[in-house]
Amino acid sequence: MSTVPQVQSPNFDEFLAYEGPVVVDFTATWCGPCRMISPLIDQLAQEYEGRARVAKLDVDESPDTARKFEIKSIPAVLVFKDGALVERIIGAVPYEKFSSALERHL
């Protein structure tokens, strides 16, 4: 089971108000590629614990937040720094793509 917290629309802006980088995996339970990268997002959260904040957001539970960030296909992993979107990774990609994106913003 995932140890990565689920974030939802009502507390999304509060979640982004973190001093370091914030990674949000826009996902859905019915999405096969999302399930494929889920363990990678869990690994990212563990590896960067204390240096970055990592969460998952279910697009079906928070459609307004998904719309706000123009999520048109999932999985979509967004990296934020100081509350601003700095990187967008779409699709099932290798772990290194996520970690190198995060490293650029530490």
Per annotation, catalytic residue among 34, 37, 59, 89: 34
Give the strand order in the sheet containing 53-58.
Answer: 53-58, 22-27, 76-81, 84-90
Q: Look up 34 and say whether it is catalytic.
A: yes
In the block, tokens 């100081």 appear at 82
HSE toward the beta carbon, residue 60, CA cutoff 13 A = 5
Per annotation, catalytic residue among 7, 16, 24, 31: 31
Q: Look up 100 and say whether it is catalytic.
A: no
* Three-state secondary-structure class, residue 59: coil
Q: Which residues are part of the catalytic machinery?
A: 31, 34
